[in-house]
């Protein structure tokens, strides 16, 4: 019999250190001989990667409306869920996603101000009601996260519509995640990401071992 698939998502403001922590988590879980898929949003399928390009870089998308943005994120996710995530979970494998529907709740709902009822409806439809088993939000002071995001090296000549957001936007994103953690305390856990990479990773390991007691310590 295969063990049940587990679905884990990482969330947070830009600059919170998600990529580094996901890489460490993958190495750790794979060293425990688990079969783990890594996916990212928007993207993760050929169609999703095209939508990612539209959302982030394509000049035709530069002045898109928040409603259009919401639907494009949902379209990329609908494809990823049906093509990759659900089949992997059905096979009993693990899936780690770099962002999922909580990003839409927080970025398009809390930060861009779209009505939360509509955002939740579209989210549920896109994900086939398959919520993550556990969501780790890397929680960092918004000013610090923004400063770190601005220090990151960027590809020359490639404009990114979703970067360069102002501090009030970061504040709304951060507040949105904290609200989610209060509303869904069993699924959504805030991880203090203010210390070193090693400190943050050890908090992640602790949370994962608590949620999935068969993991090696
Ligand atoms: P990232 O891959 O560097 O995290 O960039 C993705 C950007 O897209 C980031 O600014 C967050 C944003 N985003 C949304 O606004 N809504 C969403 O649903 C998702 C998945 C991402």
From 103, 111, 138, 173, give the residue whose CB has the most ligand 1 atoms within 8 Å, as the site to mutate. 103
Q: Is the CB of 11 under 6 A from ligand 1?
A: no
Record the tokens describing residue 153, joined without a space. Answer: 């090296």
State the closest ligand 1 atom to the C-alpha of 76, by its place in the atom list counted from 1. Answer: 20
Name the DSSP letter for residue 159: -
State the closest ligand 1 atom to the C-alpha of 74, by its place in the atom list counted from 1. Answer: 18
Is 161's pLDDT higher than 50? yes
pLDDT at 1: 45
Is 124's pLDDT higher than 90? yes
At 13-35, the pLDDT tens digits run: 999 999 999 999 999 999 999 99
Q: CA 154 to CA 66: how far, in whole Å?
A: 25
H or E segment and range at residue 51: helix 46-56
CA of 73 to the centre of ligand 1 (A): 8
By three-state DSSP, how is residue 167 classified?
Answer: helix
C-beta separation of 110 from 173 below 8 A: yes
At 80-91, the pLDDT tens digits run: 999 999 999 999
At 195-206, the pLDDT tens digits run: 999 999 999 999
Name the DSSP letter for residue 4: P
Is 39's pLDDT higher than 60? yes
Q: Is the CB of 73 under 6 A from ligand 1?
A: yes
Q: Which residue has the tokens 């659900």?
A: 86
Minimal-distance CA residue to ligand 1 atom 8 = 162
State the closest ligand 1 atom to the C-alpha of 18, by its place in the atom list counted from 1. Answer: 4
Question: DSSP alpha helices (H): ranges in the chain?
Answer: 18-31, 46-56, 66-80, 86-90, 101-103, 116-126, 142-151, 167-183, 197-211
Record the tokens describing residue 136, joined without a space. Answer: 């780790």
State the closest ligand 1 atom to the C-alpha of 41, by its place in the atom list counted from 1. Answer: 20
From 41, 48, 140, give the residue whose CB has the most ligand 1 atoms within 8 Å, as the site to mutate. 41
Its pTM stands at 0.96
Q: CA 25 to CA 193: how far, in whole Å?
A: 15
pLDDT at 3: 56
pLDDT at 148: 93
Q: CA 55 to CA 11: how far, in whole Å?
A: 18
């Amino acid at each position: 019999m295969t063990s049940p698939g587990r679905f884990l998502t990482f969330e947070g403001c830009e600059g919170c250190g998600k990529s580094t922590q996901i890489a460490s988590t993958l190495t750790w879980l794979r060293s425990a001989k688990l079969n783990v898929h890594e996916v990212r949003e928007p993207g993760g399928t050929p169609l999703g990667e095209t939508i990612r390009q539209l959302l982030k870089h394509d000049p035709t998308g530069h002045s898109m409306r928040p409603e259009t943005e919401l639907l494009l994120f949902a379209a990329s996710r609908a494809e990823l869920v049906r093509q990759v995530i659900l089949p992997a979970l059905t096979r009993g494998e693990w899936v780690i996603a770099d962002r999922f529907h909580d990003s839409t709740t927080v970025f398009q709902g809390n930060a861009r101000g779209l009505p939360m009822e509509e955002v939740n409806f579209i989210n549920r439809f896109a994900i086939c009601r398959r919520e993550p088993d556990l969501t780790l939000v890397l929680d960092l002071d918004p000013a610090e996260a923004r400063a770190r995001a601005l220090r990151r090296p960027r590809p020359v000549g490639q404009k990114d519509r979703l970067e360069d957001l102002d501090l009030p936007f970061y504040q709304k994103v951060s507040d949105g995640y904290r609200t989610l953690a209060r509303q869904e305390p069993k699924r959504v856990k805030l991880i203090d990401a203010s210390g070193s990479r090693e400190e943050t990773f050890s908090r992640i390991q602790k949370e994962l071992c608590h949620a999935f007691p068969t993991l090696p310590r």
